[in-house]
């Protein structure tokens, strides 16, 4: 067989609605080119029949190959699998939803023939919301400032790579992959051109706001250690400001005599410092997490079947059982993570309440300050737990039910307190602490129930984020 000239790699996740239209459009663009080519589809654990459709396409056309994952491992893993499958001397990476127009492939090949190892069509931002546009621009400005590699606004994964560029990408052993950075890091002759942004042909984007945020953080952390440096600088400046403030206080006391100490200043300083410490710990934790994750040497994905293997042999145990087991494990780890987030948000909200209460106390009666502080921390708790803990949009129904969890919490902790103090003779303070701790998991379950009760179906499992062993949280398109 003559050497393959072109491989088109297409990651697909729940693209049953779009895949056939895409395949037809791709063939319409590729057929006039002639030559030897192959199309490598990677099914990233779809649940909507995409895998069967790909099997059908592969059975009809020998140029079509596919690999299907055992579950959703994320687009980064799917692209990696596609690059590993590819055999062509040029490889085009593109999405399955026709947002990356196949008609551009001839132009990309033409530029490749002129000696370019990377040809990048850059989309403009036509049809994008103002907010998303502004956020993207800010993100890219930040990335340009912070990252050790250059990432161009509008350039995504849609690109042509020469064989030597693909080999360089594959030679990088890291499993926490941020392709945008990797493509830029490998270097080689690169050219880009603009094309008009397009809407999805069918189906829905798989990138919710939370996934995008994770992707953004991954991008920022993958290619530099500046966030750590920023933490050092922030700590240094906070320390210097505290020193200046202390000197100023001493001088003031010497000149004017002692005044009543300001609790508000003290508390604001404590809360601000705790915030900085938490953020810094989080940044360090992210890096440590990455080291831990790399040290495990887990493969970035698990293959369920390919066009060359038989999906299931007669007499083999039902594959569903494994899926169910991994679902249970995923559910458990999600609940643990949600609980940790719930506890953390509880601490943050207590700090917010105290800060608001102490600051407002100077201007209004203490009960009014308490009411405002309580309302702010209550609404904050509901919103943070909705967006971060449960990962869903808040609803009015959830908001109305949310206080119920606090009421039940109050009653149950009161009952436990009574039992401990009157029944078991435990010290009052110790009993209150123990009751508070014991009732927390219970109030977490109630709060989660209240938040999700406003939705038709339970919150979608956010699998790609559950397992940091896979790079799925990384979104490598032009957001
Ligand atoms: N995709 C994937 N795994 C995922 C999410 C997305 O393989 O976990 C694929 C998806 O099928 C599509 C491409 O990545 O071919 C881009 O996804 P999408 O269109 O949802 O992203 P957007 O265009 O909104 O950035
Ligand atoms: Mg898309």
Residue 168 has pLDDT above 80, yes or no: yes
What spacing in Å lies between the alpha carbon of 403 and ligand 2's midpoint? 39
Question: What is the residue with the minimal CA distance to atom 22 of ligand 1?
Answer: 205
Cβ neighbors of 366 (< 8 A, separation 6 or more) are: 357
- SS percent in the chain: helix, strand, coil, step 5: 60, 10, 30
Question: What is the residue with the minimal CA distance to atom 25 of ligand 1?
Answer: 477
What spacing in Å lies between the alpha carbon of 202 and ligand 2's midpoint? 9
State the SS3 of 185-228.
HHCCCEEEEEECCCCCCCCCCCCCHHHHHHHHHHHHHHCCCHHH
Which tokens go with 45? 């654990």
Asked if 210 and 463 touch (Cβ cutoff 8 Å), the reply is no
* Ligand 1 pocket: which of 9, 13, 102 to mutate (most atoms within 8 A of CB): 13
Which tokens go with 325? 């087991």
Atom of ligand 1 nearest to the CA of 14: 11
Compute the C-alpha angle 457/463/465, nearest 5°: 125
Rounded-to-integer distance, Cα 339 and Cα 174, Å: 30
Bridge partners, 67 (sequence order): 42, 306
Rounded-to-integer distance, Cα 155 and Cα 143, Å: 13
Segment 327-354 shows an average pLDDT of 79
Which tokens go with 422? 């009157």
DSSP sequence for 52-101: HHHHHHHHH-TTEEEEEESS---HHHHHHHHHHH--SSEEEE--TTSSS-
Residue 340 has pLDDT above 80, yes or no: yes
Segment 154-183 shows an average pLDDT of 85
Residues with a CB atom less than 6 Å from ligand 1: 11-13, 15, 44, 72, 74-75, 78, 95-97, 99, 205-207, 464, 472, 477
Q: Which ligand is nearest to the CA of 301?
A: 1
- At residue 458, the pLDDT reads 40
What spacing in Å lies between the alpha carbon of 138 and ligand 2's midpoint? 21
Chain mean pLDDT for the chain:
78
* Ligand 1 pocket: which of 15, 97, 98, 201 to mutate (most atoms within 8 A of CB): 97
- Give me the residues near ligand 2 (ion), CB cutoff below 5 Å: 95, 97, 99
CB atoms within 10 A of CB 352: 17
- At residue 316, the pLDDT reads 38
Asked if 380 and 349 touch (Cβ cutoff 8 Å), the reply is yes
What percent of the chain is predicted at pLDDT more than 90? 19
Rounded-to-integer distance, Cα 381 and Cα 450, Å: 12
Most confident segment among 63-67, 218-222, 350-354: 63-67
Strands 6-12 and 37-43, sheet pairing: parallel
Q: What pTM does this model have?
A: 0.57
Segment 71-92 shows an average pLDDT of 92
- At residue 225, the pLDDT reads 67
Atom of ligand 1 nearest to the CA of 206: 20
Task: Give the model confidence (pLDDT) of 239-256 as tens digits.
Answer: 788 888 878 877 887 888
Atom of ligand 1 nearest to the CA of 42: 7
Segment 379-402 shows an average pLDDT of 82
- At residue 413, the pLDDT reads 78
Which tokens go with 242? 């505290």
Atom of ligand 1 nearest to the CA of 94: 15
* 221 torsion bin: left (phi>0), alpha (psi -120 to 50), beta (else): alpha
- At residue 247, the pLDDT reads 82
Name the more confident of 459 and 123.
Answer: 123
What percent of the chain is predicted at pLDDT more than 70? 81
What spacing in Å lies between the alpha carbon of 10 and ligand 1's midpoint? 10
Segment 344-354 shows an average pLDDT of 82
Rounded to 5 degrees, what are φ and ψ at 451? -65, -45
Question: What is the residue with the minimal CA distance to atom 16 of ligand 1?
Answer: 95
- At residue 264, the pLDDT reads 60
- At residue 337, the pLDDT reads 82
Which tokens go with 92? 């085009």
* Ligand 1 pocket: which of 23, 85, 95, 132 to mutate (most atoms within 8 A of CB): 95
Name the more confident of 360 and 104.
Answer: 104
Q: How many CA atoms lie within 13 A of 385 on its CB side?
A: 32
- At residue 108, the pLDDT reads 94
Residue 155 is given by DSSP the state: B
Atom of ligand 1 nearest to the CA of 74: 8
Task: Give the model confidence (pLDDT) of 176-212 as tens digits.
Answer: 778 888 888 888 888 988 888 777 767 677 666 666 6
pLDDT tier for residue 327 given thresholds of 50, 70 and 90: low
């Amino acid at each position: 067989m003559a050497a393959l000239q072109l491989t088109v790699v297409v990651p697909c996740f729940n693209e049953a609605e779009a895949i056939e239209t895409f395949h037809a459009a791709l063939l319409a663009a590729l057929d006039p080119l002639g030559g030897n080519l192959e199309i490598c589809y990677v099914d990233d654990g779809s649940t909507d029949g995409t895998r069967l459709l790909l099997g059908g396409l592969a059975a009809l056309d020998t140029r079509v190959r596919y690999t299907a994952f055992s579950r959703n491992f994320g687009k980064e893993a799917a692209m990696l699998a596609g690059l590993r499958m590819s055999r062509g001397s040029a490889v085009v990476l593109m999405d399955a939803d026709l947002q990356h127009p196949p008609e551009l492939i001839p132009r990309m090949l033409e530029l490749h023939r002129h000696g370019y190892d990377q040809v990048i069509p850059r989309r403009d931002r036509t049809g994008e919301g103002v907010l998303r546009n502004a956020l993207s621009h800010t993100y890219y400005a930040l990335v340009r400032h912070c990252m050790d590699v250059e990432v161009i606004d509008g350039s995504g994964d849609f690109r042509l790579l020469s064989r030597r560029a693909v080999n360089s990408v594959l030679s990088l052993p890291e499993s926490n992959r941020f392709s945008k950075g990797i493509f830029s890091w490998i270097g080689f002759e690169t050219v880009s051109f603009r094309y008009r942004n397009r809407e999805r042909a069918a189906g829905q984007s798989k990138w919710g706001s939370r996934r995008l945020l994770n992707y953004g953080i991954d991008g920022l952390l993958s290619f530099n250690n500046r966030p750590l440096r920023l933490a050092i600088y922030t700590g240094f400046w906070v320390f210097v400001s505290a020193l200046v403030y202390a000197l100023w206080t001493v001088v003031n006391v010497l000149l004017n005599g002692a005044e009543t100490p300001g609790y508000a200043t003290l508390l604001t300083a404590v809360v601000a410092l705790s915030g900085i410490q938490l953020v810094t710990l989080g940044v360090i934790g992210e890096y440590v997490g990455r080291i831990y994750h790399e040290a495990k040497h887990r493969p970035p994905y698990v293959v369920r079947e390919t066009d060359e293997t038989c999906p299931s042999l007669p007499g083999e145990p039902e594959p569903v059982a494994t899926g169910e087991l991994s679902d249970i494990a995923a559910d458990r780890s999600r609940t643990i993570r949600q609980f940790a987030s719930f506890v953390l948000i509880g601490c943050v909200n207590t700090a917010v309440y105290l800060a608001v209460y102490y600051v407002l106390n100077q201007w209004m009666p203490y009960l009014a300050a308490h009411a405002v502080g309580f309302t702010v921390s209550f609404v904050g708790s509901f919103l943070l737990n909705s967006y971060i803990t449960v990962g869903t949009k808040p609803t009015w129904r959830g908001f109305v039910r949310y206080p119920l969890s606090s009421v039940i919490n109050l009653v149950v902790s009161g009952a436990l307190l009574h039992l401990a103090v009157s029944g078991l003779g435990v010290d009052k303070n110790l009993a209150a602490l123990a009751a508070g701790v014991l009732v927390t998991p219970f109030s977490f379950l109630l709060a989660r129930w209240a938040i999700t009760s406003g939705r038709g179906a339970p919150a979608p499992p956010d699998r790609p984020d559950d397992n940091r062993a896979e790079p799925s949280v990384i979104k490598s398109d032009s957001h």
